[in-house]
Every structure is written in C-alpha cells, then in structure tokens.
Chain A
C-alpha cells in the first residue's frame, strides 16, 4: 500500500499512464484505489486539477460504482457471496455469523482492529461451492454459519505463508512424455483449490522425475466435481479424478506412471508415497471420487450437451494459441477476412438464426446489418462481458477458458459491420478473465490476428479492455457505453439505438460474449448445421450456469428446446438429498420461476417468455421444497433494488416500495391489500421503467405471485410453509435429541438450555435463528416450526 503523503506524485504517475481525458476517469479511479486501498479525497481533487475531469464527474462516477470505496478498508477483505445459489444455501446466515464474530454493528463493515472488512458480493461465480466466502485471494466453499471461525483460523494460518516456490515443474520434450495431466483452471476449479493441486503435481513431478506434461485447461463445466484432474497416459484411456485434494496427487500419479529416476530418488521421496499409497486413507478417498468418463453420471452430464461456445472443453489450454489453431482456431476468421464479403458474413449469420445470448434475443444477423448499413469512418464494437446476475457465470467461463474463440468471433463481426475499434467490457470482479483476455490479446497481436492488416487481409482492427467498476446496470448496453465514456452508468432512452448512435455517438455493435463465441462455429460448420440445432425461432445452443439444489451443478451448453426437466433430471442428476423439486429460477433477477407443473417447458426464448420467465443471461437455479418462494422474490428484488441506477422514478422508487412490501410480507406484517399494491407496482414498474433492468425487475415477483400465490397468502396469515423466513419461524428440539450439547456449544447467544444426556431446549427469546444448531446436530433433532 502506498503512503498517502505522496499523493500528487502517485496521481501524476497514474495520469501519465491513463490519460487526462474525461473518459479516463474510471481507469484513473481504479488505479488510485489499487494504490491507496480507497479513494482519498485529496487524490480526487488533485485529479480534477490536472485533467479535464471535473469535480461533478469524478464524485458522481466514484459514488456510482460499488467497487469504489471512499473510506479506507481493513487489511483483508472478506467477500461473502450472496448470489442466488449461495442465498438458497444460507449465505445470509454466514454473513450474519461473520458480523457477529467481528462485533460489527449498524453500518460498520470493518472490525475494530481494522484488519478485516466484510462485504457482500452479488456473485463470485462459484455457485456449485455455495455458500462461498472469499478472503483476499483465498476462496472458501461450503461455508456454514458455524464454520466461520474455522475459515478465519485457516486464513490466519495461511496468510503469512508465502506460496510454494514456483518453477519446480520441469518441461520435457514430446518424445519423453509419458502422458499428460490436465488440471482445470476455471474459476470454480481455482476456488476449490486447483492451484494447490497443480503445485502438488509440480512437486511430485520434480521429486519423482516422472516425465509427464502438466496442462492447464479451461472450465470443463463439471463444477460440482471440482477440482478436476484428468490423467492421460500415452496409449491408455484417460481417467478423470474429481474433488482432488493436494495430498491425493502423489497417489494418483503413482498409479498411472512409473517413476523413471534412479533408485536413490525412489528411495528418498517416492518410496514414501508408495508406502502411504498402500496404507493411507487418502488413497481411498481419491478412489471414491475417481470418476470415469464412461460412468453413467459423467456421460449423463455430458451427453445431453452440445459444445459450440465451449467446443473442445477440457482439452484446450485457454492461452495456448497454437493449440487453438490446431483445433480449427482462426480458420473461420481467415475465411471471413480473405474470402467473404461483409454481406456474405451477415447473410450466413442471418441464416443460422443466431439470436443475442445476453437475454433479450434480438436476431444477431439483423443487428449486424443495421450497424453495417450506417456509413461512418469510425465504428465501434463492444463485447459485453459485464455479467452481473447473481447466479450466472457463463461469460466469465467463456472469457477465461475460450479467449481466442471470443476474439475470433469479434474479429469476424468487426469485419462484417466494418468496425474500426473494439472494446471488451469486463466486470471488475472477473480478475482472472481480464488477465486471460489481456494476455490473449497480446498473443493475437503477435500473430497478427489483431492489429494492422490482419493476416494480410487488408482489414485492420484492435481491441482494448475496459474494466467495469461494479454496477449491474452496466450490463444494459446504453449504460455500458456511458460507463466507457467515463460517466455514471445511467441508461439512455432508445432510439437512437447503438447501431445508429452508440459509443461517442458513433455506430456501435454491441453483443454479448456468448454470442461472439458462437460465431466461428457457424462460419466453419455452416449456418444450416447451427440452425439444425434447437427449435422454432431459437436456434443453436445456450450456455447455462446450473446451480442450486441439484446434484450436478456446473456450466452446461445445451441445445435450445431442451426441457427444464431434462436439464435438471438428466444433466443435473435431479434434486439434491432426495428433496422434492419445486421450481427452477431461470434468468436471474430479470427472470422468473418455472414451477413443477411446467417442468416440461422447453428452453427457448418464446416458451420462457410465455411462462413469465426469461432467458436472461442464463442462470438456472434449482429450488426444492425447503425454498420459500416469497423469500426468493425478496432476494431478487433486493438485488435489483440495490443495483437500480436511480435515474427513473419507476425503478428507483418502485423497486424500493415493492421491496418494502415484500419485507412486510416475509416478516408476517403483510395484508391482502399489500398483495394488490405489490401487483400494481410490479405492473407499472414493468411498463414504465426506462431500461431493461427496471422493466424486468418485477418478473420474479409476478411469476411467484402467479404460480405460488398460496405461499404469499400463507405469509400473510403468519406462516412460512418452507420455514425460511426468520420472523415467521421458531427453532425447537424434538425427542430425537441425544443430549450431546453440540448445539449448545455452537449457539452464539446461549439460547439453548441443556443438561448433558438430557433433551435440550431452545429459549426462543434468545434465539437469533442463525441455524448453527440445526446444522451441527448429529441426529436431526433441531427442527423449525
């Protein structure tokens, strides 16, 4: 962290890198915060002195984006993910437990020692590990409210230790390779510890001398099994290991490869492994988790899927450009640049029936031709990677794992519409994605896939990265462009559409990341093949983030037209823990709930719209009988309400009032009249709001009101049938209690009256409903009434 005494020098340095134009404001602020850990007012004033940026602009912008802090934060930042998947698995109780741990009251976010700052984040993109807590760079999965102390203890233990020495991995030339080990390095894998697994592999290789190549691959999609390690011995069938722990690695390697080294090597280090392999329980553990591609589970998970955006998944190293080329990478781009005209490309895309994957589903070819028609010397192209749904992480996965495919799609689109400059707009929280794309852009330039006169075609185009600063509304295209221009992310009324007047009033093509990722396949395989997948007006595939109460969550790419039931039952392996399927929430805060009676609804734009849901950006959260639908509506509305930009009345005040009413209902204070008012406000917020955020914000309410009306009535009568809404439930201990005192030990408020070996009792007045007792009880004696 930088000393605040030399603010002018530091800021001068930042300005010299980022520029003095108004548009540089967000990058400048990001750099200042990176340096000082917050935005010192003195620094902002200094920026105004030295640049075109005005006080009005800098304060307006700094206070708009949630990334920016005006107060210094603690030494470590604890991020509690409150995305949908985490929410349904108790994230708010984890958050409360952390606050209790640090004795935080009111609006305090930093503990008294200024060591930790606690923040809620909308989604860390590790939905399959829910609930997730991130402390600085370390991510903890499956955190229960009673595990908070363990997490902090573990962090304290590791925080001081420098990471394992790098460079132990020995590169070997092809002939000597005994095989290959692939380790998933998507965000879920990394969060679940794949980095440590990778280190263990490197160490093992170094110690044993086994000649295998270690390869990092992008997300395989099977996020429910992370970390994943695939071992591919030469001429043997590959084996996929799931949920691998670092201590498992030596055993796995030993079972596939014979050490080549000298006897002495065997003797000193490896010998120990083999001994432990025979005797240690660790090995059993791995065996349990070992999954084979031929096993039913895995084939169910993969068979229904059609990888297009995620083609060659689990095979390609995200940043290995040569490997991408070997897998037909950039051939579509070459065809487009060297052989096809702009019209040809657009015609092909039109024929494929591709529609925008960002949610609204506007026909992509049509959008391209609108931009192409507008003659202008300057045209921009934007790749929208500002995925912000709590419970969706497709864009992140595509950017992290398939950077070249996205770039290839972008260059093709640029040629088709005649764009002169491109932007990647990537959400601030997606650090890994930014890193990968940045590197991929460098490699592309080195290979002349970007830049002047791309591969000699005469077409020149390049892309720069713009990091979002934490505003869900910037996923809306007009707000996103405002953001790039260095303004608050206020959406603008359309028309004019971006195709006519977009970024800096120039014609602009803006598509979602996934849309671009589909393009090269269409060019390469022909539009007919793509259009042959899917149904009706929804062609091709869609990537979903499957999470919630499902056995096998993860990223899936499925053909349009597949039913909800097929996704949940066949790909997802059904509802977890034998619970009853209640609904699937699709489309995040803009979407709706599809109830059990509509289980066979096909996933396509029109069908989803008809049942009151929406493709959205592709979050798919499975809910079971223990989930309260009013609570779900409340959850999504708190999200949108918090993310409303505050520009138009219906969204700014309407979402707040709807949330107030929902809070009233979930705390048992609602009336039947409140339901009418809720519906009235939902109706007008939908009809009257300026942008898509407000127009779709009421959807979670409208769809739950429609399909789960009786649950609303129950709350008004003072009951929460699923036992979720804290004000409406009580904890009690039943006769199954064995008197073990575990619950009493965990209880943070001493609300459990106990005598060892006798049935315990909950003192309701003291109980804060943190659920710790229920989680810890070994015999399910704690129940909610």
Chain B
C-alpha cells in the first residue's frame, strides 16, 4: 500500500493507483474531461491538475501514479486558477451555443428550440409543458408579445425568423381548448406563505411558480378582476376569455386571489408580519409617489438587480413596479425568477441572485454556415397564420424550420458544468477568428460538430478499443488538430459499432445522438 496526503487527508491505496483515483476513493472530487475509466489515460484537457506541495509543481492527476509520501493539494487558489485558465483556453476555441440565441434573448428565458422540436413531432402537450416551465401565460403572451426572441433567431439570417410567438400561442390555445388543461406537478406545501401585491403578468407568474414550489401564494388585487395592465389591451388583440382561462389555470394550482383588496401603507405592514415574504407587483410607480416605505429611484422601486430584494428585508419587487415597460414577457420572466429566489431563500435563509448558468455562445453565423444549420431544419418559407393563429399543419411545418441552434448535450456537457463552476470567461482569450461550424448529421444515428470538440481523444480510444474498421483518428497536429474519420469516410461509416458509446462518453456536445433530448 502507498500512503499519501491529498488536501491534508491521509490516504492509503494500492500501488499503481492514479492520484485522481486516490482522491476519488475518499470523496475528493477532482474534475476531468479527457479521462474515461476503462480506457487508457491520455493527459489532454489538463483540468485535473493538482499541485505537489513539496515543489509547487503541477501535474495531471488522472495520469500520474501515486508515490509514497506525496503531499498533494487539489483545492487551493492556484490550483483553482489552473482549472479556470485551462477552461478559458478551451472555451476560446469552442464554437457552439449551449442555449440557442432565441432563448438567451427571451426575457423569460423560455426553452424555445425544445418547444419547436416537440411541436415538429406533433407532441403539443409536452411542448406546452416546456413553455410553462418559464411562461405562466402562454396564450396571453402568444397574442401580445413583441417577440424579441424572433429578433435573435438565427433563421432570420438565412431567410426569415421562425414564428416563435405564434407557435407558443398555438400550444397555449390547444391546451386551453383541450378540456383538461395541463396542471403542473406541485411540490408538497412548505407551510410558508407569500403575499403578492398585484395580479398583472408579474404577480400572476410569481404566484404560479411559488405555488408550484410548495409555498402558498396569495394575490392581493385592488381591482375587481385579475390581469392588471392586461385588461387595458383591446379585446380584438387579447380577448377577455383568454385572460380568464389562463388565470383560472393559475388558480387551479392553489393560488389564492383576493380581489378588490387595496394594499395601503398600513395593510402592507400587516402583510409583512403575516407572510413569510412579500412580492410587490403593483405595476408602474409614478415618479414622486411613495411605495410602502420602499426606496425608489426615478423609474420605480429600488431593488437588487439579480435578487429583486428591495430596501426592506423579505420584500421583493418585480415587473413594472421596477421600471415601466410594455414587455409583458419580461414581467412574466421576473415573476418566475423571484419565485425561485424566494424558494431558495426559504431553503437556505439567505437571499441570493437568480442562478445564472454558464452559456457558451458565438454570435452571428457566417454565410458559409447557413447550409450547416439548415441540415438540422426543413427548408420551408415562414408559415402564414390568420387571426385564429396557426393550423396544426402550419404549426408543425413552421416548427420544423427551427435550426436546432442549441446544443444537444446542454445538461451532460462537462465543459459547461465546469465553466460554470469555475466561472470561466469564454471571451477572455478569443484572440483570433473562430472556426467555422460544421455539422455532420446522421439522422438515424450520430451528430458530430467538430467545432465543439476539445480533442480529448476519448472517441479515438473507444473506436480503437472496439476495433472499428475506420473509427476516429487525430488528423494534423497542434492547434489545428481535428478528430475525424480516416480517408474522408462518413461519420456513420467511422462509427458503425460505437456511435452510441462515443456519444455518451463525449465530454462536450461535439458528439451526440440525433434525437437526444436532455432537457425533457
């Protein structure tokens, strides 16, 4: 047995064990991307660097056998920095979007591409579920949203953007028409209660998601009907029954709406004592007017940008109360976010900002890349819709125009996960032109996107291990090295036995099975 120390813990392992395995054996997790148990180590990504405390040198823990008396550090500032540096270098040449530009542009951060794919498959129920993860009022927004997402849509560069807003309206309307509209899974009640002042888009959304998370939401609405500013919109655009029906879906989750309840300064103080948190969603605060003793700015109530916490503890503010806007989708998004923030606060007793995930992004497509993206979509003109929205056929056809800009492995991608963990900045070392995106798509099998590859060689080792006739190999060397099938054979031919195996093992989204959906 060999005795060594990792992060001040003494460990005894068999000779020949790697430092990484030794750490693993006692629950010290050292990240890695290029190492895969069952294949030989390759020492490529260098994410697993650790420090030898005796000489200060760094080495790759995945490939180095333990030595008697070693003293290893895996978690000090310098080691963490080494991981960040390696990640930032890898990211500097990583051409791919974790999430599609439309989703990033959407103020509610709705998973648009996933909705599109489900619609394309004709699975409208699942599509609606996906929409409702982020948007509490799809039928309403489907009628009034100015659709910033469509400005971000990549398809716009090729011909016209995908008609996202109408697609969302379609699944929303289909759901309402179905007779048994979708009801989300509700968490067990926590016993916590939250007061929501105002039943506009922000308040409704906040209440809906709080309720889903198990916290009793009570909306106080000064008017006789719920909807806030939505009620100001002409019925030729937004019929009243659509508002009623969507509000009914929210009430169906258990949210209480108290109509004709005007909250003044006194009753506000009361709410603070009776409820575990208060969400102010009162709509636009006119300049110079006061709002429940809360500090205000020129535009409205002053609140932390990422947590919506106001100057008073446990009081949050969302929607137009922060700043007047015609973007209902922004208010709906904030309602969802504040629910998560409050939920986290209840669980941890600490208020922190809305969790933002790392997102790799690369901006506009080059013209030569259009054709690559069109491989993932159907080549049809933007579908027309009349006043009643899309027909089923038109919706499916339109959804198929979506080019799948988002990554196929957004959840399993280790690069994304680690970049998030170590707060790597993608742009930091982007000092020269990026690679062009290429997509090799085999619709019954694998999709290969070389510009997302980190050259870890796991797939090369696996295809060799499984004795593929062609397999993958390294082509070229240095910065320009790429992984490809020898003799320009197709990816399909290269991976006759191992497509699913390499797709699973790939630490990024470079290799994935065609139909995979990780976010369902």
A56 partner, pick from B44, B93, B455, B471, beta carbons under 8 A: B471
Whether A684 sits at the interface, judged by CB under 8 Å, is yes
Does the CB pair B479–A653 fall under 8 Å?
A: yes
Whether A495 sits at the interface, judged by CB under 8 Å, is yes
Does the CB pair B474–A60 fall under 8 Å?
A: yes
Does the CB pair A646–B82 fall under 8 Å?
A: no
Whether A104 sits at the interface, judged by CB under 8 Å, is no
B487 partner, pick from A59, A644, A652, A690, beta carbons under 8 A: A59
Closest to A690 in B: B43
Closest to B471 in A: A56
Whether B374 sits at the interface, judged by CB under 8 Å, is no
Does the CB pair A690–B60 fall under 8 Å?
A: yes
Q: How many residues of B contact A (CB 8 A)?
A: 49
Whether A271 sits at the interface, judged by CB under 8 Å, is no
Residues of B within 8 A of A688 (CB): 46, 49, 58, 82, 85-86
Does the CB pair A55–B475 fall under 8 Å?
A: no
Residues facing B in A470-512 (CB within 8 A) are 471, 488, 492-493, 495-496
How far, in Å, is A367 (CB) from chain B's closest CB? 19
Does the CB pair B64–A63 fall under 8 Å?
A: no
Does the CB pair B481–A55 fall under 8 Å?
A: no
Whether A13 sits at the interface, judged by CB under 8 Å, is no
Does the CB pair B474–A664 fall under 8 Å?
A: no
Classify the interface of chain A: helix, strand, loop or mixed. Answer: helix
Does the CB pair A59–B46 fall under 8 Å?
A: no
Q: Give A493 to B44 CA distance when docked, in angstroms.
A: 10
Residues of B within 8 A of A57 (CB): 473
Does the CB pair B42–A647 fall under 8 Å?
A: yes
Residues of B within 8 A of A56 (CB): 460, 463-464, 468, 470-473, 486
Does the CB pair A649–B90 fall under 8 Å?
A: yes
Whether B45 sits at the interface, judged by CB under 8 Å, is yes
Does the CB pair A646–B471 fall under 8 Å?
A: no
Does the CB pair A59–B473 fall under 8 Å?
A: yes
Does the CB pair A656–B479 fall under 8 Å?
A: yes
A55 partner, pick from B45, B432, B476, B487, beta carbons under 8 A: B487
How far, in Å, is B480 (CB) from chain A's closest CB? 8
Closest to B51 in A: A687
Whether B63 sits at the interface, judged by CB under 8 Å, is yes
Residues of A within 8 A of B463 (CB): 56
Does the CB pair B473–A644 fall under 8 Å?
A: no
How many chain A residues sit at the interface, stated as a range, is: 35 or more
Residues of A within 8 A of B44 (CB): 647-649
Does the CB pair B474–A64 fall under 8 Å?
A: yes
How far, in Å, is A269 (CB) from chain B's closest CB? 57
Whether B65 sits at the interface, judged by CB under 8 Å, is yes
Residues of B within 8 A of A650 (CB): 46, 85-86, 89
Q: Give A687 to B57 CA distance when docked, in angstroms.
A: 7
Closest to B49 in A: A688
Given contact pairs A648-B44, A653-B93, A687 touches B82 in the complex (Cβ within 8 A):
yes
Residues of A within 8 A of B292 (CB): none
Whether B262 sits at the interface, judged by CB under 8 Å, is no
Does the CB pair B43–A677 fall under 8 Å?
A: no
Contact with B along A36-77 (1 / 0, CB 8 A): 000001001100000000111111100110000000000000
B46 partner, pick from A44, A656, A690, beta carbons under 8 A: A690
Residues of A within 8 A of B469 (CB): 55
Q: Give A760 to B477 CA distance when docked, in angstroms.
A: 48
Residues of A within 8 A of B478 (CB): 641-646, 652, 656
Whether B431 sits at the interface, judged by CB under 8 Å, is yes
Does the CB pair A488–B479 fall under 8 Å?
A: no
Residues of A within 8 A of B455 (CB): 646-647, 652
B85 partner, pick from A58, A496, A680, beta carbons under 8 A: A680
How far, in Å, is A15 (CB) from chain B's closest CB? 18
Whether B275 sits at the interface, judged by CB under 8 Å, is no
Closest to A496 in B: B65
Does the CB pair A677–B429 fall under 8 Å?
A: yes
Closest to A59 in B: B486
Q: Give A657 to B428 CA distance when docked, in angstroms.
A: 10
Whether B92 sits at the interface, judged by CB under 8 Å, is yes
Contact with A along B41-82 (1 / 0, CB 8 A): 111111101000000011110011101000000000000011
Q: Give A647 to B45 CA distance when docked, in angstroms.
A: 8
Given contact pairs A653-B92, A687-B58, A644 touches B477 in the complex (Cβ within 8 A):
yes
Does the CB pair A471–B429 fall under 8 Å?
A: no
How far, in Å, is B309 (CB) from chain A's closest CB? 34
Residues of A within 8 A of B89 (CB): 649-650, 653-654, 657
Q: Give A649 to B82 CA distance when docked, in angstroms.
A: 11
Whether A213 sits at the interface, judged by CB under 8 Å, is no
Whether A661 sits at the interface, judged by CB under 8 Å, is yes
Closest to A647 in B: B44
Does the CB pair B477–A645 fall under 8 Å?
A: yes
Whether A117 sits at the interface, judged by CB under 8 Å, is no
Whether A660 sits at the interface, judged by CB under 8 Å, is yes
Residues facing A in B355-376 (CB within 8 A) are none
Whether A220 sits at the interface, judged by CB under 8 Å, is no
A59 partner, pick from B42, B67, B428, B475, beta carbons under 8 A: B475
Whether A231 sits at the interface, judged by CB under 8 Å, is no
How far, in Å, is B73 (CB) from chain A's closest CB? 13
Residues facing B in A343-381 (CB within 8 A) are none
Whether A681 sits at the interface, judged by CB under 8 Å, is yes
Residues facing A in B401-454 (CB within 8 A) are 428-429, 431-432, 454
Given contact pairs A55-B470, A646-B476, A657 touches B431 in the complex (Cβ within 8 A):
yes
Residues of A within 8 A of B42 (CB): 647
A488 partner, pick from B43, B93, B454, B477, beta carbons under 8 A: B477
Given contact pairs A56-B470, A680-B85, A657 touches B92 in the complex (Cβ within 8 A):
yes
Closest to B64 in A: A493
Residues of B within 8 A of A59 (CB): 473, 475, 486-487
Q: Which of B41, B93, B472 has the most CB of A within 10 A?
A: B93
Residues of B within 8 A of A699 (CB): none
How far, in Å, is B225 (CB) from chain A's closest CB? 56
Given contact pairs A493-B43, A648-B46, A649-B89, A63 touches B475 in the complex (Cβ within 8 A):
yes
B477 partner, pick from A54, A646, A661, A664, beta carbons under 8 A: A646
Q: Give A55 to B478 CA distance when docked, in angstroms.
A: 20
Residues of A within 8 A of B43 (CB): 492-493, 647-648, 690
Q: Give A782 to B45 CA distance when docked, in angstroms.
A: 51
Residues of B within 8 A of A655 (CB): 479
Residues of A within 8 A of B67 (CB): 495
Q: Give A45 to B487 CA distance when docked, in angstroms.
A: 8
Closest to A58 in B: B486
How far, in Å, is B490 (CB) from chain A's closest CB? 13
How far, in Å, is B256 (CB) from chain A's closest CB? 55
Closest to B470 in A: A55
Q: Which of B45, B58, B428, B474 has the most CB of A within 10 A?
A: B474
How far, in Å, is A469 (CB) from chain B's closest CB? 12
Contact with A along B17-53 (1 / 0, CB 8 A): 0000000000000000000000001111111010000
A649 partner, pick from B45, B474, B487, beta carbons under 8 A: B45
Residues facing A in B84-127 (CB within 8 A) are 85-86, 89-90, 92-93
Closest to B85 in A: A684
How far, in Å, is A463 (CB) from chain B's closest CB? 29
Residues of A within 8 A of B486 (CB): 55-56, 58-60
Q: What are 11 A-B contacts with C-beta separation under 8 Å? A: A57-B473, A488-B474, A646-B476, A646-B479, A649-B45, A650-B46, A650-B89, A664-B431, A677-B428, A681-B429, A688-B46
Given contacts A649-B47, A677-B428, 19 further A-B contacts (CB under 8 A): A41-B487, A55-B487, A56-B464, A56-B471, A56-B486, A471-B477, A488-B474, A493-B60, A493-B63, A495-B65, A495-B67, A642-B478, A644-B478, A644-B479, A646-B479, A649-B454, A655-B479, A657-B89, A681-B429
Where the two chains meet, the residues of B that have a C-beta atom closer than 8 Å to any C-beta of A are: 41-47, 49, 57-60, 63-65, 67, 81-82, 85-86, 89-90, 92-93, 428-429, 431-432, 454-455, 460, 463-464, 468-481, 486-487
In order of increasing CB-CB distance, the 9 nearest A-B pairs are A660-B431, A646-B481, A55-B486, A59-B486, A653-B89, A56-B473, A656-B479, A60-B473, A644-B478
